[in-house]
Amino acid sequence: MNRKKRIGPARWGIYAFLIVSALFFMMPLYIMLVTSFKPMEEIRLGNIFAWPVSFTVEPWVTAWTSACTGVACEGIRGGFWNSVWIVVPSTILPILLGALNGYALSFWKSRAADILFSILMVGAFVPAQVMMFPLVRILATLGLFSSLPGIVAIHTIFSMPVMTLLFRNYYQSIPQELFNAARIDGGGFVRIFLQLMLPLSTPIIIVAAIMQVTGVWNDYVLGLVFAGRDNLPMTVQLNNVINTTTGTRLYNVNMAATIFTSLVPLTIYFVSGRWFVRGIAAGAVKG
Amino acid sequence: MKSHPSRTLSTVLTWVALLPMTVTVLVAYLGAVLWSLRVSLTNSRTFPSDEFVGLAQYERLFANDRWLLSLENLALYGVLFIAICVILGFLLAVFIDQKVRGEGLLRTIYLYPYAMSFVATGLVWQWLLNPANGIQQAVRQMGFQSFTFDWIIDQDMVMYTVVIATVWQSSGLVMALMLAGLRGIDEEIWKAARIDGIPTWRVYVSVIVPMLGPSFATVFVLLSTGVIKLFDAVAAMTQGGPGTASEVPAKFIMDHLFGRANIALASAGSMVLLVTVIGLLAPLLYVRARNRRVQEQA
Amino acid sequence: MTNVEVSNLCIRFGSNEVIKDLNLEVHAGEFLVLLGPSGCGKSTLLHSIAGLIDVAAGSIRIGGKDMTWAEPTDRNIGMVFQSYALYPTMSVEGNLSFGLRVNGTPKSEIQRRVLRAADMLQLTPLLRRKPSQLSGGQRQRVAIGRALVREAGVFLFDEPLSNLDAKLRGELRRELKLLHKNLGSTMVYVTHDQVEAMTLATRIVVMRSGNIQQIGAPADVYERPENLFVAGFLGSPGMNFLDGKLTISAGSAIFSALNMSLDVGAYDFRGPAATGQDVILGVRPENLMLQHDGAWEAKVSLIEPMGNHHVVWLDFGGTSLSSIVSGALSVAVDQNVRFSVDVSRITLFNRTTEQRL
């Protein structure tokens, strides 16, 4: 009896499903790109799937420099810089606090801290709207409402559960003996953190950074409420560009603006590959 | 052994380090939730008021057509979204795991939508489903004159468009998690099944899927959280329309907190959302805690 | 009673030829152990007999039938894996019956086989339990049971005891030996542990780098090793090796090393030996005796008390030799002692070819 052929109908079926699915997932990206390089007449008359006949980068220029994001018509570049100003501190601070929390929880155990952590974990599931009004009032009282420090504080609050969980789980995989040896060598709380644990944390810091940058950059509702008119992130401005226009809708400009807004997280995704997936898996292990 | 001063110093430092977390938990989480609860029991409108009205706001809430519609929409959306994401994500993971060529490329393609914001997703699909210029028009131009795909302006069908857009965005996540789960399964189980003569599909159904229980649970928790919080995609894609056909609870709450200036009603709504989340989570947490106890005893 | 015949087997991983032209016959009813270090190809050989790995060339016959391209499930085999690979979400009964259920065996037959296997392996009170609720030994029995219910002709074992602690390993080893005695089925067993091989096997196949070094009953392989590798692999502590020269003259053979010589005239040479050749003398620790009137002298470097015997390590001009002394010990470290060797139990190897002389 000879060996059976490996390539059977089942195999073709698998590839067919995978390829059709791939087309489904690729289609919107393709459409986004193709639309953004077409002049409006072509869009009005033509087929959304068609390749641009008269290729133009006008929509990109318009989106960046002169699209109307509410009151002003300066393009979406303002939003880009706003997002950058929001994302950088909103990544550094939560990571720092997450590492500190995770470190304290893993190695300097206390009942009270564990209880607080459990509440924090439940907090991760609470929808933002539940806490929104009180947070608005608190920030207003502190004079931080509608300000950059305010939105950074908000992002820190809302990402503390995930960041703490990430670092805590990571530190729990570090052998207790290492910590014990450091204590015997005379290390205290601060010294062990700065000289031993933080240097060991590079992988999880990378993962946390990827998750945080992506999450904060893509945020809409928190930026909408807390950032203030001068600091509106790109996602909010994008929505303004597209959904609050009077007059004719410039679909090509819209798509260009959408791509601009997605460039940062998409680039991170394509560049970081496996780290991105690791972040998903780590963040998904809740408790 | 260790001198006392350094021990107490470390303990003090621990609490100093944990101060941000303590403040956050007590004020921002617990405090805010309790505050919202309090507001929901008053008759605050634009500004907070101290007049308590008991459960009056909740009564008004559940007499509000828009709120009831938003709950209905969310339930429909939730069931469809989770079911399709899980099935699609699982199938993608299973098929990719069959030692296919180009696995890396396929995984990149399936997961990139997850890197995009909900707003961008909503906007792209809004464009795609535009009846005048999008898919409907394109198919008509290809010769099928009577083809209709105007769900996005159809009151009865608009929620399905939100399902499509968000499924596109999140299925990759499910695939990634399921694939990780599949890869964690002992290779020797497959060998044993081969010797037992079990056909591949049966191994998946009777052995692998039950073994992936924890992965499915994780996926379910993640997806449900996303369902409850659904706001950005709807705001970008349909603005709750046409009319109020695609209203969802989070949007109802936001609108009443700001535009419609009825803080108490909005707070009541958010309390209901919170209770729903806890209702979904509690059984899962209970099951997990019980499994852990059983494992510790064994 | 089923036999297995492997002929001219070649197995390739990519461009790497892992097993080349291997021939092996497993007699019906015997317990054959494939023994060797990691990477020697024993597991690969077992997997190819099972049909889990494709062969590049050669044939495999099981029970007289050509099974070279047969699916694992059609090969009349059962297999026990290192991790046992029990289906975690099914009960013991479920694990035992799953294969039969899927293949449409009638319910009454399934029940008969499951109960019989459970009875033979003392699993009957455990039938409702899940694998996570079983001990390591119980899990092994379920794994064997899964192979039993298939009423297979040949049982294959892939290092089933490697994951267990020493005490449990000993217990389960003895259970396996009893099982073979009761069942009488053909069993092929892979291990890197020579104690398992010695105690369980009817015959041992010593493998290295994809080749068979020696096949034989445990006693044969132990007392008459074919080459240096086999000699050094079996036995703990390992065989003592001494480099030296062989001098053959009319009617006598002398082994000389350093400042000592030994009359090896009584040694069973394979063929005529050349005089003056470099040889290695191998002698097992139990055949190296500390005696007051021993022919040679060495210094005690280390003593390891093992409970019922001692292992005494000697420094013989730079070479480390071991001796097993049972009962009471009368020597101490750093003492100079005399020892002698049981000439009837030595082995001589050609130093270049490493083959037995």
Query: pLDDT of B102-147, one tens digit each?
Result: 888 999 999 999 999 999 999 999 999 988 888 888 888 888 888 8
C145 and C118 Cβ atoms separated by less than 8 Å: yes
Residues C50, C127: one domain?
A: yes
pLDDT tier at B5 (50, 70, 90 boundaries)? low
Structure tokens at B99: 């030692």
* Average pLDDT of the segment spanning B139-163: 85
Contact C79 B192 (CB under 8 A): yes
Which of C65, C123, C66, C61 is CA-nearest to residue C94?
C123
- Find the CATH number of the domain harbouring A280: 1.10.3720.10
Contact C102 B194 (CB under 8 A): no
Residues A23, A144: one domain?
A: no
Convert the pLDDT of each residue in A38-50 to its tens digit. Answer: 898 888 888 888 8
Contact B206 C98 (CB under 8 A): yes
* Domain ranges, residue A181: 79-235+263-284
pLDDT(B298) > 60: no
Residues C8, C124: one domain?
A: yes
A109 touches C: beta carbon within 8 Å: no
CB pairs under 8 A between A and C: 6
In a domain, A241, yes or no: no
C79 to each of C38, C47, C152, how far by Cα in Å? 20, 9, 9
Residues A213, A110: one domain?
A: yes
Where are the alpha helices (H) located in chain B, listed in sequence order? 4-17, 19-23, 32-40, 56-63, 65-96, 103-111, 118-128, 135-141, 158-183, 187-196, 200-203, 209-211, 213-228, 232-237, 249-257, 263-297
Q: What pLDDT, on the 0 to 100 scale, is given for residue B295?
A: 61
Residues A148, A217: one domain?
A: yes
pLDDT tier at B296 (50, 70, 90 boundaries)? low
Q: What pLDDT, on the 0 to 100 scale, is given for residue B58?
A: 87
Q: How far is A284 from chain B (nearest CA, A)?
A: 7
Number of other residues whose CB lies within 10 A of the CB of residue B144 = 11
Q: What pLDDT, on the 0 to 100 scale, is given for residue C293?
A: 83
Mention every residue, 6+ apart, whose C-beta is less than 8 A from residue C33. Answer: C189, C190, C191, C196, C197, C200, C201, C203, C204, C205
| Among chain C residues, CA nearest to A4 | C69
In a domain, C219, yes or no: yes
Residues A83, A192: one domain?
A: yes
Q: What pLDDT, on the 0 to 100 scale, is given for residue A113?
A: 86
| Among chain B residues, CA nearest to A14 | B95
A71-79 contacts, C-beta under 8 A, 24 or more apart = A71/A229, A76/A234, A76/A237, A76/A238, A76/A241, A76/A257, A76/A260, A76/A261, A78/A237, A79/A232, A79/A233, A79/A234, A79/A235, A79/A236, A79/A237, A79/A238, A79/A261
pLDDT tier at A285 (50, 70, 90 boundaries)? low
Of B192, B198, B295, the CB nearest to C102: B198
pLDDT tier at A1 (50, 70, 90 boundaries)? very low
C26 and C188 Cβ atoms separated by less than 8 Å: yes
Of B186, B197, B211, the CB nearest to C99: B197
pLDDT(B280) > 70: yes
Which of C151, C184, C193, C215 is CA-nearest to residue C31?
C184
C73 touches B: beta carbon within 8 Å: yes
* A164 vs B130: CA distance, rounded Å: 42
Q: What pLDDT, on the 0 to 100 scale, is given for residue A258?
A: 92
The 8-class DSSP code of residue A67 comes to -
Residues A15, A106: one domain?
A: no
Q: What pLDDT, on the 0 to 100 scale, is given for residue A150?
A: 92
Q: What pLDDT, on the 0 to 100 scale, is given for residue B6?
A: 67
Q: Which of B7, B12, B21 to mutate to test the interface with A (most CBs of A within 10 A)?
A: B21
pLDDT tier at B178 (50, 70, 90 boundaries)? very high
- Nearest-5° angle of CA C209, CA C212, CA C214? 130
C4 and C61 Cβ atoms separated by less than 8 Å: yes
φ/ψ region of C298 (left if φ > 0, alpha if ψ in -120 to 50, else beta) reads beta
3-state DSSP assignment of residue C253: strand
C69 touches A: beta carbon within 8 Å: yes
| Among chain B residues, CA nearest to A260 | B120
C52 touches A: beta carbon within 8 Å: no
- How confident is the prediction for chain A on average, in pLDDT? 87
Residues C274, C167: one domain?
A: no
Q: How far is C90 from chain B (nearest CA, A)?
A: 8
Residues C205, C345: one domain?
A: no
pLDDT(B149) > 90: no
Residues A86, A51: one domain?
A: no
* Average pLDDT of the segment spanning A259-270: 92
Contact B14 A189 (CB under 8 A): yes
* C198 vs C202: CA distance, rounded Å: 9
Residues C225, C295: one domain?
A: no
C325 and C309 Cβ atoms separated by less than 8 Å: yes
Q: Which residue has the tokens 């060339």?
A: C57
- Find the CATH number of the domain harbouring C84: 3.40.50.300
pLDDT tier at A287 (50, 70, 90 boundaries)? very low
The H-or-E segment that residue C298 falls in is strand C296-305
Contact C72 B206 (CB under 8 A): no
**Chain A residues with beta carbon closer than 8 angstroms to that of B221:** 286
**Chain B residues with beta carbon closer than 8 angstroms to that of C102:** 196-199, 202
Residues C140, C28: one domain?
A: yes
| Among chain C residues, CA nearest to A5 | C69
pLDDT tier at A53 (50, 70, 90 boundaries)? confident
Q: How many domains does chain C have?
A: 2
Residues C136, C164: one domain?
A: yes
Burial class of residue B13 in the structure, from the number of CB atoms within 10 Å of its CB (0-12 exposed, 13-18 middle, 19+ buried):
middle
What is the arrangement of strands in the sheet containing C278-283, beginning at the earlier edge strand? C260-263, C252-257, C240-249, C278-283, C347-350
**Chain C residues with beta carbon closer than 8 angstroms to that of A2:** 69
* Average pLDDT of the segment spanning A151-161: 93
pLDDT tier at B4 (50, 70, 90 boundaries)? low
What is the arrangement of strands in the sheet containing C31-35, beginning at the earlier edge strand? C77-80, C154-158, C186-191, C31-35, C203-208, C211-216
Enter the ipTM. 0.88
In a domain, A243, yes or no: no
Amino acid at B133: N
* B190 vs B193: CA distance, rounded Å: 5
Q: Which residue has the tokens 């159904």?
A: B205
The CATH code of domain B64-297 reads 1.10.3720.10
Last residue of a domain, one of C192, C207, C233: C233
Task: Provide the Cα torsion A60, A61, A63, A69; round to 10°.
Answer: 170
- Find the CATH number of the domain harbouring C246: 2.40.50.140
pLDDT tier at B177 (50, 70, 90 boundaries)? very high
Which of C32, C70, C18, C28 is CA-nearest to residue C49?
C70
Per-residue pLDDT of chain C (357 residues; tens, 9 = 90+): 789 999 999 999 888 888 888 999 999 999 999 999 988 889 999 999 999 999 999 999 999 899 999 999 999 899 999 888 999 999 999 999 999 999 888 999 999 999 999 998 889 999 999 999 998 888 888 998 998 898 889 999 999 988 788 888 888 888 889 889 988 899 999 999 988 999 999 999 999 998 999 999 999 999 999 999 999 999 888 899 988 888 888 777 888 887 788 888 878 888 777 788 888 889 999 998 888 888 888 899 999 998 888 999 998 888 889 999 887 788 888 888 888 888 888 898 888 888 888
* Domain ranges, residue C54: 4-233
pLDDT tier at B1 (50, 70, 90 boundaries)? very low
Q: What pLDDT, on the 0 to 100 scale, is given for residue B294?
A: 67
Number of other residues whose CB lies within 10 A of the CB of residue C65 = 12
Q: What pLDDT, on the 0 to 100 scale, is given for residue B42?
A: 84
* B29 vs A197: CA distance, rounded Å: 28
Convert the pLDDT of each residue in B223-256 to its tens digit. Answer: 988 899 899 999 998 888 788 888 999 999 998 8
In a domain, A240, yes or no: no
**Chain A residues with beta carbon closer than 8 angstroms to that of B20:** 97, 100-101, 160
* A59 vs A242: CA distance, rounded Å: 13
In a domain, A133, yes or no: yes
A229 touches B: beta carbon within 8 Å: no
Mention every residue, 6+ apart, whose C-beta is less than 8 A from residue C263. Answer: C252, C253, C254, C343
Convert the pLDDT of each residue in A85-116 to its tens digit. Answer: 999 999 999 999 999 999 988 888 888 888 88
pLDDT(A2) > 50: no
Contact B198 C132 (CB under 8 A): no
Q: What pLDDT, on the 0 to 100 scale, is given for residue C22?
A: 92
A120 and B21 Cβ atoms separated by less than 8 Å: yes
Q: Which of A19, A33, A93, A129 to mutate to test the interface with B (most CBs of B within 10 A)?
A: A129
3-state DSSP assignment of residue C83: coil
| Among chain B residues, CA nearest to C47 | B191
Say what the pTM is: 0.86
pLDDT(A5) > 60: no
**Chain B residues with beta carbon closer than 8 angstroms to that of A48:** 128, 133-135, 137-138
A2 touches C: beta carbon within 8 Å: yes
For residue B20, say if its preceding peptide bond is cis, omega within 30 degrees of 0: no
Q: Which of B186, B196, B201, B208 to mutate to test the interface with C (most CBs of C within 10 A)?
A: B196
* B157 vs B177: CA distance, rounded Å: 30
pLDDT(B292) > 70: no
Q: Where are the beta strands (DSSP E) in A118-273?
A: none
Residues C221, C245: one domain?
A: no
B148 to each of B134, B136, B165, how far by Cα in Å? 11, 6, 18
Q: How many domains does chain A have?
A: 2
* Average pLDDT of the segment spanning B72-90: 95
A6 touches C: beta carbon within 8 Å: no
* B181 vs B211: CA distance, rounded Å: 9
In a domain, A257, yes or no: no
C74 touches A: beta carbon within 8 Å: no
Residues A100, A221: one domain?
A: yes
**Chain B residues with beta carbon closer than 8 angstroms to that of A125:** 225, 277, 281
B225 and A125 Cβ atoms separated by less than 8 Å: yes
Contact A1 C54 (CB under 8 A): no
3-state DSSP assignment of residue C301: strand
